[in-house]
Amino acid sequence: MARQAVIRSVPGAASGQGTTERAFTGEYWDTKTQGTYRCAGCGEELFSSDTKFESESGWPSFFQPLDPSTIEEKEDKTFGMVRTEIKCAKCGGHLGHVFDDGPNPTGLRYCINSASLDLDEAEPSG
Ligand SMILES: [Zn+2]
């Protein structure tokens, strides 16, 4: 039982990101292991480690999904601002939010809860 329980809605959280997971506490925020990140709810392949980058947000961040059709976007007006919530298109599970301040080539930042992901580690090749 090394992992701490995910704490929801932290009073006074300074980030304003409004994700359900505290920054820097998730399993994958600084993971550099190669592999495919799957939906924790249904196993759908969502992101590749090739598109993961260090955003300094404390959450796993990707600039591009494996296949845009696996991601469902929804306008989220909670916390007094308009953001784009992203969900798994297959099972509807909440993944995180997408922001438009990411790196090239997409300029997007998919900010995902570690708890929403399962890393399928790639076999070392060659
Ligand atoms: Zn899913």
Residues with Cβ within 8 Å of 33's Cβ and at least 6 positions away in sequence, in order, are 49, 119, 121, 122
Q: Cα(56) to centroid of ligand 1, in Å?
A: 26
pLDDT digits 0-9 by tens, 47-78 = 999 999 998 889 999 999 999 999 999 999 98
| pLDDT: which is higher, 58 or 126 | 58
- List the catalytic residues: 111
Q: Cα(95) to centroid of ligand 1, in Å?
A: 9
Mean per-residue pLDDT for 97-105? 95
| Number of C-beta neighbours around residue 93 at 10 A | 17
Angle, CA of 93, 120 and 52, to the nearest 5°? 75
Q: Cα(1) to centroid of ligand 1, in Å?
A: 25
Q: What is the mean pLDDT of the chain?
A: 86
Classify domain 35-121 by CATH number.
2.170.150.20
- Per the CB < 8 A criterion, the answer to whether 46 and 95 are in contact is yes
Q: Where are the domains of the chain?
A: 35-121
